C-alpha cells in the first residue's frame, strides 16, 4: 500500500478531538539507496515519535540503570514471583532480599523489552504495524506489546472515554511514548 493511502486511512480513524493535532509524516530519499528515510508521528507540529531505519543508540544496560534509578517507575512484584525465587534458592535467602532479587529480575526483563521495542521503531516496521492495525480488531491493538499498535489504538476514535479511563493502571507499565499518547487522549476526553 502506498504511503499516501496508508496515511489517509490512519487519519480517517483519528479521534475527532485529535484531528489536525496528530499527523503521520514520512520522508524518503529516492536517489540514496543507503538512506531509507524517516517516519514520525507529530502532535501540534512537533515530532513526538521518530522512526528511522538506523540502529537504536540506547543499550540494554543503560535502560536497566535508567529504570532502576527512576523513582517514578513502580514495579509491582507478586507473591508468586517471590515464592519462585524462594524455591530456587531453597530458602537460604532472607525475605527482604527475595524482594530485591525479584525486583532486579523484573527490571532486567523490562529493560530488554524496552530495548527491543525501541529497536523495532523504524519506517518499514511502521508500515507493517499500521497495516496490521487497520486489519485487526481495536482490542488486539490495545492489548498488544507493540508500541506502535498501542499508540495507533489510543488515538483511534473507536476507543471511548470509558475504555480510556479504565486503562490507567495498564498504561503505567507501557513505554513512555505510549504513556504520552495516553495522556494526550485523556486530555481530550
Reported as a single tens digit per residue, the pLDDT across 12-61 is 999 999 999 999 888 766 665 555 567 788 899 888 877 765 444 445 55
* Whether the Cβ atoms of residue 22 and residue 155 lie closer than 8 Å to each other: yes
CA distances to 23, 117, 118 from 146, rounded to whole Å, are 19, 7, 10
DSSP 156: B
50/174 Cα distance (integer angstroms): 17
Reported as a single tens digit per residue, the pLDDT across 9-19 is 999 999 999 99
29/179 Cα distance (integer angstroms): 31
Q: Is the pLDDT of residue 151 over 50?
A: yes
Residue carrying the nine cell digits 534509578: 69
Does the predicted model carry a pTM greater than 0.85? no
Cα 23–9–42 angle (5° rounding)? 10
* Whether the Cβ atoms of residue 178 and residue 68 lie closer than 8 Å to each other: no
In which band, very low, low, confident or very high, does the pLDDT at 136 lie, cut at 50, 70 and 90?
A: very high
Residue carrying the nine cell digits 536497566: 64
CA distances to 52, 126, 173 from 119, rounded to whole Å, are 10, 12, 18
Reported as a single tens digit per residue, the pLDDT across 61-103 is 566 677 777 777 777 888 899 899 899 988 888 888 988 888 8
Amino acid at each position: 500500500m502506498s504511503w499516501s493511502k496508508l496515511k489517509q486511512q490512519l487519519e480517517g480513524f483519528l479521534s475527532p478531538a485529535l484531528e489536525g493535532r496528530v499527523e503521520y509524516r514520512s520522508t524518503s530519499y529516492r536517489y540514496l539507496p543507503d538512506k531509507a528515510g524517516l517516519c514520525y508521528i507529530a502532535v501540534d507540529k512537533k515530532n513526538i515519535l521518530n522512526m528511522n531505519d538506523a540502529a537504536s543508540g540506547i543499550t540494554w544496560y543503560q535502560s536497566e540503570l535508567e529504570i532502576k534509578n527512576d523513582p517514578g517507575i513502580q514495579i509491582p512484584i507478586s507473591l508468586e514471583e517471590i515464592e519462585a525465587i524462594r524455591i530456587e534458592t531453597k530458602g537460604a535467602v532472607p525475605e527482604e532480599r527475595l524482594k530485591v532479587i525479584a525486583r532486579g529480575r523484573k527490571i532486567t526483563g523490562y529493560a530488554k523489552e524496552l530495548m527491543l521495542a525501541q529497536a523495532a521503531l523504524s519506517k518499514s516496521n511502521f508500515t507493517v504495524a499500521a497495516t496490521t492495525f487497520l486489519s485487526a480488531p481495536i482490542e488486539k491493538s490495545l492489548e498488544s506489546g507493540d508500541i506502535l499498535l498501542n499508540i495507533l489504538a489510543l488515538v483511534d476514535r473507536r476507543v471511548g472515554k470509558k475504555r480510556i479511563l479504565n486503562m490507567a493502571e495498564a498504561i503505567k507499565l507501557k513505554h513512555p511514548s505510549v504513556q504520552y499518547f495516553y495522556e494526550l487522549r485523556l486530555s481530550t476526553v
